[in-house]
Amino acid sequence: MRIRVIVPITSFSEDYLEDRRKRLSKEALPMTELEFVSVKKGPITIESFYEEELAAIDLLENVKKAEEDGVDAVIIWCSGDPAVHAARELVKIPVVGPGEASFILAALLAHKFTVISPLERDIVRYENMAKILGIESKLASVRPLGITVLGLRSNREKAVERIILLSEKAIKEDGAHAIVLGCLGMFGMAKEVQEKIGIPVIDPGIAALKIAELLVQTGLSFSKLTYPYPPKKES
């Protein structure tokens, strides 16, 4: 199966894209062929609703092209799931958001879960996501690291230490039974954190990959009653 990962930001170099493809491929099924592409026009990082909108147009064009190219599923490489609902209206193939995928998995695995996000402004985004998914009662808390997306990339050791600290607080103070890493800048950190805190820690990139593979294998995609094609406009 072919799965195309679309990165909705412009700060990934070709080498960085290839590094991410190789690392995610280690988690994929042997039959899965992963492709990584990024938007040409958009923000350097997505840390606001405004920046989501800046990424949307080029992102949606990439989603349409993926289906035209015969790709089996698309993953939008951002935990905020920018334009994911609009993308599902455009195509028949599955379009998976890492945020939704990790929330659903966490709700399955645990009574309550906490999201560890980069910034305080992410709290509203993730509380809204839980409401839309109908699992608001499962969300114990959203705890911000106080580290930007670029900061997560540049200082991995500090980020892991902060994630462990906040996760332990979420367990003791918020009643969290699982942790969701709320940014793809934390990709690859989940196993290390899980070993330290002893409860499930979900990497949104891996969650999205596994949901995408499952949908392709089972021949399922998002309902066109929920996500009908956009109406055609008369000129």
DSSP string over 101-140: HHHHHHHHH-SSEEEEESSTTHHHHHHHHHHHHT-GGGEE
pTM of the predicted protein model: 0.94
C-alpha R_g of the chain: 17
Report pLDDT digits (tens) over 96-120: 999 999 999 999 999 999 999 999 9
Average confidence (pLDDT) over 166-176: 98
Report pLDDT digits (tens) over 79-95: 999 999 999 999 999 99
Q: 122-133 and 98-109 helices cross at what angle (nearest 10)?
A: 70
Average confidence (pLDDT) over 192-209: 98
Average confidence (pLDDT) over 154-174: 95
Q: What are phi and psi of 93, to 5 degrees?
A: -70, 155
What CATH number has the domain spanning 2-97+207-218?
Answer: 3.40.50.12500
Report pLDDT digits (tens) over 32-56: 999 999 999 999 999 999 999 999 9
Report pLDDT digits (tens) over 62-78: 999 999 999 999 999 99
CATH class of the domain whose range is 99-204: alpha beta
The pLDDT value given to residue 54: 95
164, pLDDT greater than 80: yes
Topology match between the domains 2-97+207-218 and 99-204: yes
The pLDDT value given to residue 144: 96
DSSP string over 75-94: EES-TT-TTHHHHHHH-SS-
The chain-wide mean pLDDT, for the chain, equals 96
Q: Where are the domains of the chain?
A: 2-97+207-218, 99-204
The pLDDT value given to residue 154: 84
The pLDDT value given to residue 178: 98
Say if CB 113 and CB 178 are below 8 A apart.
yes
Residues in the chain: 235
- What is the spatial distance between Cα 134 and Cα 145, in angstroms, rounded to a whole number? 26
**Residue 23 contacts by C-beta under 8 Å, 6 or more apart in sequence?**
187, 188
